[in-house]
Chain A
Amino acid sequence: MAKENAQNLIETSDYIGHHLVNLTFGWCEKTSSWGFANHQQELFKGLDSACKVSEMGFWSFHLDTIFMSILLGAVVFGFFGLVNRAAKKGVPSKLQNFAEFVHEFIASAVNSGYHGTSKIVGPLAFASCLWIISWNLMDLLPVEMASFFGHFGGGFNYFKILPTADLNAPLALAIVVMILVTYYSVKTHGAGGFLKELFIVPLGPLEFISYVSKHVALALRLYGNLFAGEMIFILIAIMFGQFAMSFSQTLWFLPGLILNLSWALFHILIVALQAYIFMMLTIAYLNLASTKH
């Protein structure tokens, strides 16, 4: 019995670990070569390196994150681009109505929150909000689905479909926002004024710390929320999966389904809300940066 429990524990940690590891392609110090992390995929035999994920350094790429985010971006922005191209001046089609509704929603947020003159804020808010929503929606797909299709369809043992749960992606967005905020701050207040604001008035270097941390927090907030959501899906899956296995009663499937469904419904709120918060904060930071105060 004890042995069985220990066995289960190992399986559990394996299961969680499996779901938290990205498909990684990177530089392996041991063999001094590029390749996939050890045993992550079976598709490209020659590219399998001797390093594990944890042994790869900074120069590695999470291919699943990159692939999924670009795919989702292509779908979302492709949709808007195509709808725009097909747009008529007269009575709009339903797709066009939808696209216009989304645009109006974001444009009204930008117009009410941003009082500067920059033309980039609207597109930035639009791109970040929609891209993040499309990422977050991947969280609503069943946790096992990606692994299932990755394994049988592509020969990938590890494949995370949720780019938001990889800190690199939200951080990239937040850093772009930070660069723009810095640019507009310097443009509005001058380099001297900006530095003075960061380091001297009114609380000295504390301002600098808050300046950096608010941008990092922008990324971490998004990442944390979605990572936690993903984690809960995984835990629900484990709990009922184990019950079902140990009691050989597939009826345990039912409460699992209900719990999963209720969390998914609640999670829809987080999906949209986090994207909205990211967009609104982006607008607010840029507004602060490009208006004199």
Chain B
Amino acid sequence: MNINATFFAELLAFCIFVFITYRYIWPSMENLLEDRRKEISDGLEAASQSQRKLEEANKESAVILDGAKAEASSLINQANSRADQIIDEAKDQAVEEAKKIKLSAEADIEQSTNKAKDGLRDEVAALVIAGAQKILDKEINAKANKDIIDSLIKKI
């Protein structure tokens, strides 16, 4: 245990090392740790903020989805009713058309009936006339009995 001038050398060395720590190590370490602490707290803050944002976005998307669903169903309803309407219209049209066709067919039938009747009548008249002519050739002039024959034809 001998105290000697080594003491001064150690004193000086210690002062130098304390100064080095004071100047170069301690503050930069403090800053570094402070920065890291801040970075971490910022990160956590950002994380919770984005969590909130996510929740909001989820809610918003649910609302939008609901709206879209409602719109879609209303569109479907509209389309359905429109389709019904179109079918009804088509039916009506078809019925109308059918009626028309029926009417024209009936008219055609009537016309041809009439035609046939006229033809028949004419033929019968001719036959009658021919018959009567054959009869009258013997007895009467055709001209004199025309009225009677006409009335006969009409009756037929």
Contacts and interface: CB of A to CB of B under 8 A. Distances in A.
A154 interface: no
Contact of A127 (B18, B36, B39): B18
A127 B7 CA distance: 17
Contacts of B1: 167
B60 to A, nearest CB: 34
Contact of A77 (B20, B29, B30, B39): B20
Interface in B1-23: 1-11, 13-15, 17-18, 20-22
A62 B6 contact: yes
A184 interface: no
Q: Which 5 A-B residue pairs are closest in the complex by CB-CB distance?
A: A172-B10, A123-B22, A168-B6, A123-B21, A172-B11
Contacts of B54: none
A126 interface: yes
Nearest to B28: A84
Given A126-B21, A131-B17, A84 B7 contact: no
Given A61-B4, A84-B24, A66 B9 contact: yes
13 contacts: A22-B6, A62-B4, A65-B6, A65-B10, A84-B28, A84-B29, A123-B26, A124-B22, A126-B21, A131-B14, A171-B3, A172-B11, A173-B10
A166 interface: yes
B21 A77 contact: yes
Interface in B25-75: 25-26, 28-30, 32-33, 35-36, 39
A265 to B, nearest CB: 28
Given A84-B29, A107-B30, A166 B6 contact: yes
Contact of B13 (A62, A73, A124, A171): A73
Interface of A: 22, 26, 56-62, 65-66, 69-70, 73, 77, 80-81, 84, 87, 89, 92, 99-100, 103-104, 107, 119-120, 122-124, 126-128, 131, 163, 166-169, 171-173, 175-176
A169 B33 contact: no
A70 to B, nearest CB: 5
Contacts of A70: 13
A61 B11 CA distance: 13
Contacts of A66: 6, 9-10, 13
Contacts of B9: 61, 66, 168
Contacts of A127: 14, 17-18, 20-21
Contacts of A120: 18, 22
A172 B14 contact: yes
B18 A60 contact: no
Contacts of A80: 21, 25, 29
Nearest to A170: B10
Given A69-B13, A70-B13, A103 B7 contact: no
B10 A169 contact: yes
Given A61-B4, A100-B32, A169-B6, A123 B14 contact: no
B6 A87 contact: no
A104 B17 contact: no
Given A123-B26, A126-B25, A58 B14 contact: no
B3 A167 contact: yes
A64 B70 CA distance: 90
Contact of B22 (A26, A119, A163, A167): A119
A61 B28 contact: no
Contacts of B20: 77, 81, 127
Contact of B39 (A89, A99, A122, A163): A89
A84 B25 CA distance: 7
Contacts of B39: 89
B26 A26 contact: no
B25 A81 contact: yes
Nearest to A74: B17
Contacts of A124: 18, 21-22
A126 B21 CA distance: 8
B7 to A, nearest CB: 4
